């Protein structure tokens, strides 16, 4: 697991940011993780550490309000937790969420299968490919 | 450490470095040795696949994810043989007279720059794309603007044999874009200039550079460097820095020049930008055709923003849309029906925004969104949404709005929605692809780092020839102006060669 020893946390975050991810099969998750791992390989260790801490905070902060960790929340509550982080009055929290969101979106939409699923079909052949 | 000697060394091979290399290359026939040192690799034609993450990772600094110090803005700039000219869309704009006059650099006139810029417009085959090749993403922009009586203009683009892949920002897979990798660098090499790729300049000293040549990583794209990997001392009688508005000031700062040049690094601007997307009820041609055909700049002075057509790839689009979850996914699933407009804010040089270096000597961009730039982004978002609805969009995604999805039935409430919108750095996805300033031109060290010929104050052998020279924002796509300035600097170097060598 690229960011957290518990894969369930990362998967829960991915599925909240991109709801379609909940329907991914084993190969789909493998592909998502491969993209994320490749991206993180280039990142400095300090950034990886911050992302790991952020994920753990996402998992355990909801205990204060909902009495259970993120992975055991209903999808609507998970969305509320992430929305709170996205809109937090502290800029560093917003930036942290933005960074995690970026990695998640790269993992999901960086896969050729996701491009196909949303109907994106750009081709080096350009107009010849569509006419 | 190995030691090599040249007469002239150029650092960087983008719009500035490629131009300087071409314009100085006739000197090779007189026996001068000239080298271009480029940090990125040179790619073979067949390596341009158009695959998003693969090409972004290969062609951009930090894979396109270079962040400002506080993490609130992404800066995209190229790192390859040809620099950012490999990854731009080729939009070719003449330097605006009002901006050059406002810069008020002693000895620099708009007429001179304009004349040189036109030379490169012709050399790079800049022209208006034929109507039959323009896609609906662009045509709908025109339609929406016309309904609202906005003054649309068409971008000249520097393409030859464009097949409409729409993949310009991932490096043209058809070699149609006439960047320095296709035009100026091959000519320079033909005349005898050596281009050393995978070669990073670490510091510059008195007529010498410390550089590091990287080995080609296993499985990576691009040719290996013509030099063996390792550290080198490169001596040169003339050094021209063209590493771009982030890396040139950082190189000078690493070299300890801040003491004699107090303005070094300051004056950084970037045209912070985001996208506004509109969903149509039917598929439109958007990921085919040249992505950037039109713009509206009538609000640059009054509203501090410029609007341009654009179309990005799945991940960049997902990253550029605000929010997450179901509303975000709904727009992504509508990809074949999406129309996109890029809102670019006109930021200004100020006392804060600057390039620095961190403890590890890496470049750091300290950037705060100025009130004027925020006004530009907010006003631009509103106008772009208006245009999208006027073009027939059924819903619009506005990343600054409280509810990012605005339905067509609410279009009449757009002023109210836009009025209640807020810009929160770190929440709204902002990126910039026009880094400028940091080695601004001026009259002396108290107000600038260089003179109007790009010469670093107090160092007759050291020149800068890239976007870092801009003393303030250019307010338009910058590459032609960079080439014009580089041409002027190369001419001055040619004239001074007898004295400098």
Residue B326 touches partner A, C-beta closer than 8 Å = yes
Between positions 354 and 413 of B, the ones with CB within 8 A of A are none
Q: Are A87 and B424 within 8 A, CB to CB?
A: yes
Min CA distance, A11 vs chain B (Å)? Answer: 14
Q: Mind listing the pLDDT tens digit of every residue in chain A (131 residues)?
A: 566 667 899 999 999 999 999 999 999 999 999 999 999 987 888 888 888 999 999 999 999 999 999 999 999 999 999 999 999 999 999 999 999 999 999 999 999 999 999 999 999 999 999 87
Tell me what pLDDT residue A6 has: 76
CA angle in degrees (0–180, nearest 5) for B495-B261-B38: 60
Does some domain include residue A1?
A: no
Chain A positions touching B219 (Cβ under 8 A) are none
State the DSSP string of B428-450. B--EES--B-SS-B-SSTTT-SB
Structural domains in chain B, sorted by start: 2-125+179-264+438-500 (3.50.50.60), 129-155+273-346+370-424 (no CATH)
Q: Is A118 close to B333, i.e. CB distance below 8 A? A: yes
Chains A, B: CB contacts within 8 A come to: 125
Number of domains in chain A: 1
Per-residue pLDDT tens over the stretch B31-55: 999 999 999 999 999 999 999 999 9
Does the interface ipTM go beyond 0.90?
A: yes
**Considering only CA atoms, which of B432, B495, B431 is closest in space to residue B463?**
B495
- For B184, counting Cβ atoms within 10 Å of its Cβ (0-12 exposed, 13-18 middle, 19+ buried), the class is buried
- Of B164, B166, B427, which has the smallest distance from its Cβ to A94's Cβ? B427
Q: Identify which of B234, B250, B181, B204 has the alpha carbon closest to the alpha carbon of residue B40.
A: B181
Tokens describing residue A35: 């993209």
Residues B55-79, mean pLDDT to the nearest whole number? 96
Q: Which of A45-54, B114-123, B214-223, B254-263 has the lowest mean pLDDT?
A: A45-54
A88 is a domain residue: yes
Model confidence, pTM: 0.96
Does the residue A94 lie in any domain? yes
- Determine phi and psi for B195, rounding to 5 degrees: -110, 120
Q: For the segment B147-167, what is each residue's pLDDT rounded down to a tens digit?
A: 999 999 999 999 999 999 999
Token pair belonging to B479: 């590459």
- Cβ–Cβ contact B138 with A under 8 A: no
**Structural domain of A64:** 7-130
H-helix or E-strand containing B415?
helix B414-420
């Amino acid at each position: 697991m690229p960011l957290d020893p518990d894969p369930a946390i990362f998967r829960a975050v991915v599925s909240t940011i991109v709801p379609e991810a909940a329907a991914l099969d084993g190969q789909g998750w493998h592909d998502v993780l491969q993209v994320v791992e490749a991206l993180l390989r280039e990142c400095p260790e300090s950034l990886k550490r911050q992302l790991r801490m952020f994920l753990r905070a996402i998992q355990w902060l909801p205990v204060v309000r909902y009495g259970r960790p993120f992975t055991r929340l209903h999808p609507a509550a998970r969305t509320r937790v992430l929305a709170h982080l996205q809109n937090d009055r502290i800029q560093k929290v917003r930036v942290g969420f933005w960074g995690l969101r970026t990695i998640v979106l790269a993992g999901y939409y960086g896969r050729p299968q996701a491009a196909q699923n949303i109907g994106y079909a750009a081709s080096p052949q350009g107009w010849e490919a569509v006419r | 450490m190995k030691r090599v000697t040249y007469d002239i060394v150029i650092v960087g091979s983008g719009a500035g470095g490629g131009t300087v290399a071409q314009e100085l290359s006739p000197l090779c026939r007189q026996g001068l040795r000239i080298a271009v040192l480029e940090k990125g690799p040179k790619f073979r034609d067949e390596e341009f696949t158009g695959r998003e993450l693969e090409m972004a990772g290969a062609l951009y600094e930090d894979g396109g994810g270079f962040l400002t110090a506080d993490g609130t803005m992404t800066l995209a700039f190229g790192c390859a043989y040809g620099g950012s000219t490999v990854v731009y869309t080729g939009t070719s704009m003449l330097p605006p007279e009002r901006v050059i006059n406002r810069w008020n650099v002693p000895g620099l006139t708009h007429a001179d720059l304009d004349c040189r810029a036109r030379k490169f417009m012709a050399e790079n085959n800049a022209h208006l794309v034929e109507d039959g090749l323009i896609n609906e993403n662009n045509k709908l922009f025109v339609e929406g603007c016309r309904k609202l009586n906005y003054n649309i203009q068409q971008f000249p683009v520097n393409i030859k044999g464009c097949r409409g892949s729409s993949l310009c920002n991932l490096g043209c897979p058809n070699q149609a874009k006439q960047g320095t990798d296709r035009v100026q660098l091959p000519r320079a090499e033909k005349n005898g200039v050596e281009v050393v790729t995978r070669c990073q300049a670490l510091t510059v000293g008195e007529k010498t550079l410390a550089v590091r040549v990287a080995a080609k990583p296993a499985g990576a794209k691009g040719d290996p460097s013509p030099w063996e990997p390792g550290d080198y001392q490169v001596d040169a009688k003339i050094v021209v820095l063209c590493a771009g508005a982030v890396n040139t000031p950082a190189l000078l700062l690493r070299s300890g020049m801040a003491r004699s040049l107090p303005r070094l690094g300051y004056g950084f601007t970037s045209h912070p930008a985001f996208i506004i997307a509109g969903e149509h009820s039917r598929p439109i041609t958007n990921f085919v055709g040249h992505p950037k055909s039109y713009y509206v700049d009538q609000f640059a002075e009054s509203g501090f923003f410029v609007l341009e057509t654009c179309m990005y790839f799945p991940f960049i689009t997902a990253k550029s849309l605000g929010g997450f979850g179901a509303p975000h996914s709904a727009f992504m699933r509508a990809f074949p029906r999406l129309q996109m407009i890029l809102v670019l804010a006109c930021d200004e040089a100020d006392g804060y925004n600057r390039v620095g270096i961190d403890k590890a000597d890496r470049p750091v961009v300290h950037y705060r969104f100025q009130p004027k730039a925020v006004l530009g982004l907010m006003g631009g978002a509103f106008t772009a949404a208006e245009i999208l609805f006027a073009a027939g969009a059924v819903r619009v995604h506005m990343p600054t709005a409280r509810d990012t999805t605005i339905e067509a039935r609410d279009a009449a409430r757009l002023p109210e929605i836009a009025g209640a919108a807020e810009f929160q750095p770190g929440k709204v996805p902002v990126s910039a692809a026009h880094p400028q300033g940091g080695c601004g031109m001026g009259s002396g060290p108290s107000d600038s780092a260089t003179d109007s010929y790009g010469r670093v104050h107090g160092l007759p052998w050291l020149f800068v020839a890239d976007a870092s020279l801009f003393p303030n924002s250019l307010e338009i796509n910058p590459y032609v102006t960079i080439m014009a300035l580089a041409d002027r600097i190369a001419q001055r170097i040619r004239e001074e060669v007898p004295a400098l060598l």
